[in-house]
Amino acid sequence: MGKATATTVLALALCGAVLLLLAARPLDAASCNPTALSPCGGALFGGAVTPGCCMRLKAQQPCLCQYARNPAYSSYVNGPAAQSVAKACGIPKMKC
């Protein structure tokens, strides 16, 4: 896996962690796309939380529990960086 791909996957997973903290509503699987969280990648590694990140995070909020249950993303969804990004975006803790 290339560095860019690994970073994107990690960023998406961390964003999923942030999303886990948010209250999720059910959505069809087709609407849930962890790659949509790529704008949050920089914030997950110490960069600034951008408006684009928050917009995408809020749009994917209903999918956070799904991401949290996925072994590929769960460790990131529960990470402290993802929690910080969610808080910065004004997203409440998620209850799955």
Query: Is position 95 within any domain?
Result: no
Looking at every residue in the chain, the average pLDDT score rounds to 76
Neighbours of 69 (CB within 10 A): 12
Residue at 94 is within a domain: no
The pLDDT value recorded for residue 79 is 85
Alpha-carbon Rg for the chain, nearest whole angstrom, is 11
Asked whether the beta carbons of 18 and 56 are under 8 A apart, the reply is no
As for how many domains the chain has, the answer is: 1
**pLDDT(68) > 90:** no
Residue 25 belongs to what domain range? Answer: 3-88
Is residue 96 in some structural domain? no
Alpha carbon 62 to its chain centroid, in Å, reads: 11
Do the domain assignments include residue 49? yes
Instruction: Please indicate, yes or no, if residue 57 is contained in any of the structural domains.
Output: yes
Does some domain include residue 10? yes
